[in-house]
Amino acid sequence: MAMASRPRTSTRDPEEIAHRLTVWLATRLPGARATAVTVPVANGMSSETLLFDIEHPTRLQPPFRACALRLAADPSAYTVFPVYDMVRQYRTMRLVAQHTDVPVPRVLWLEEDPGPLGAPFFVMERVEGRVPPDVMPYTYEGNWLHAASDGQRERLEAATIGLLARLHDQVPLEKAQFLTLPGDGDALHRHVTAQRAYYHWVVDGLPRSPLIEEAFDRLAHLWPRDPGAPVLNWGDARIGNVIYDGFEPVAVLDWEMAAVAPREVDLGWTLYLHRFFHDLTVASGGRGLPDFLRRERVEERYARLTGHIPRDMDFYTLYAALRQAIVMLRVAYRQAHFGEVAVPADPDTLILHHDSLRAMVQGGYWS
């Protein structure tokens, strides 16, 4: 299983965005100018990030100096997701900041009008630190997390699971009702129904994935008898969305997938997204990080912190792998749209982790 080249992440002109940002900024902070506008190399393929500094005639105190901007994806650029609700993300970050000690960047301004930059966006403080990379993944040799000691990685793991525990325990559910997904049934049914709808959107007019559809069938067989009370889920709960100072979290990012769901939805995503990168590394001949974020240790740690023993984790890790597969299929079809890859006869091969997903469907992955 080879690592694919990184697909393009934007069709926008950074220089034009920088000019328009300066014009908009003057309406919020007269006399201010956006300087040193950059697009991170590891910019995502969903909402885009721009980094900039604020220059102003008067002396500014942080965070009105170093900022980050999250901009909804260009709707003409074959987006990875069908909807980019920046208001929802903004409200989620404010909610987490108000009710928990989870380190969330301070949000400064929300702009719902797509006119200034071509899409809605919000501005937040920029937090300095380092992030475990996706490309090349942190499971490969040559990056800071792989080079760390076992004890340092254990510190990072413990602190990160602590973030999840506090998020799930500290946000009052009644305050998070705007994150309840539409539809009928309990929170888990609604979450899975939303993923089915996303899959059908991805394959509309394109080859369907037999493997993804088998995974949905397997989910029905493994469905939890009692999903438990829902909580606010981060949604994209993985270490690649955390900024660390040393090995301690200082900022939790990317709240666009936040939802009301069982705790195990976040836990399954945290566990499987590490395995996703680890498996890719092993398949490429590397050792990966087999002793990092081990399933049994994460489950035990979370239970100690919250008093909630994770249940039905075969279901939730399969669900995470299935959700990642839908994203991977959309990314591949996006690459095909831009002429970067060809669509093969078997669309399942477009899913980087098709082997591990198939093993999960067959019940042999974790053994």
From 16-20, 142-146, 266-270, the region with the lowest mean pLDDT: 16-20
Model pLDDT for residues 281-299, shown as the tens digit of each residue: 999 999 999 999 999 999 9
94-119 mean pLDDT: 96
Nearest alpha-carbon partner for 186 in 102, 259, 136: 259
The identity of residue 322, as a single letter, is L
Catalytically annotated residues = 236
Rounded CA separation 222/212 (Å): 15
Residue 121 has pLDDT above 60, yes or no: yes
103-132 mean pLDDT: 95
158-170 mean pLDDT: 98
CATH class of 144-361: alpha beta
- Crossing angle, helix 313-337 and helix 354-361, to 10 degrees? 150
104-108 mean pLDDT: 96
Model pLDDT for residues 217-235, shown as the tens digit of each residue: 999 999 999 999 999 999 9
Rounded CA separation 159/147 (Å): 18
Angle at 220 between CA 219 and CA 226, to 5 degrees: 95
Nearest alpha-carbon partner for 96 in 261, 242, 255: 255
Which residue ranges does the chain devote to CATH 3.30.200.20? 14-125
Question: 79 is written with which tokens?
Answer: 């987006």
What pLDDT score was predicted for residue 82? 93
Residue 45 has pLDDT above 90, yes or no: no
- Answer for the pair 266, 235: CB distance below 8 angstroms, yes or no: yes
CATH domain 14-125 topology: Phosphorylase Kinase; domain 1 (3.30.200)
Give the pLDDT band of residue 309 (cuts 50, 70, 90).
very high
Residue 13 has pLDDT above 80, yes or no: no
The identity of residue 96, as a single letter, is V
Q: How high is the mean pLDDT of the chain?
A: 92
Rounded CA separation 142/238 (Å): 20
What pLDDT score was predicted for residue 232? 98
What pLDDT score was predicted for residue 224? 97
Model pLDDT for residues 333-355, shown as the tens digit of each residue: 999 999 999 999 999 999 999 99
What pLDDT score was predicted for residue 48? 86
Which residue ranges does the chain devote to CATH 3.90.1200.10? 144-361
Residue 204 has pLDDT above 60, yes or no: yes
Residue 10 has pLDDT above 70, yes or no: no
Quote the percentage of the chain above a pLDDT of 70.
93
- Crossing angle, helix 295-306 and helix 313-337, to 10 degrees? 120
DSSP single-letter state for residue 134: B
Give the pLDDT band of residue 12 (cuts 50, 70, 90).
low
Residue 1 has pLDDT above 60, yes or no: no
Residue carrying structure tokens 């839908």? 326
Measured from the Cβ of residue 10, the count of other Cβ atoms closer than 10 Å reads: 17
What pLDDT score was predicted for residue 63? 57
What pLDDT score was predicted for residue 231? 98
What pLDDT score was predicted for residue 3? 43
The full 3-state SS of 215-254, as one line of letters, equals HHHHHHHHCCCCCCCCEEECCCCCHHHEEEECCEEEEECC
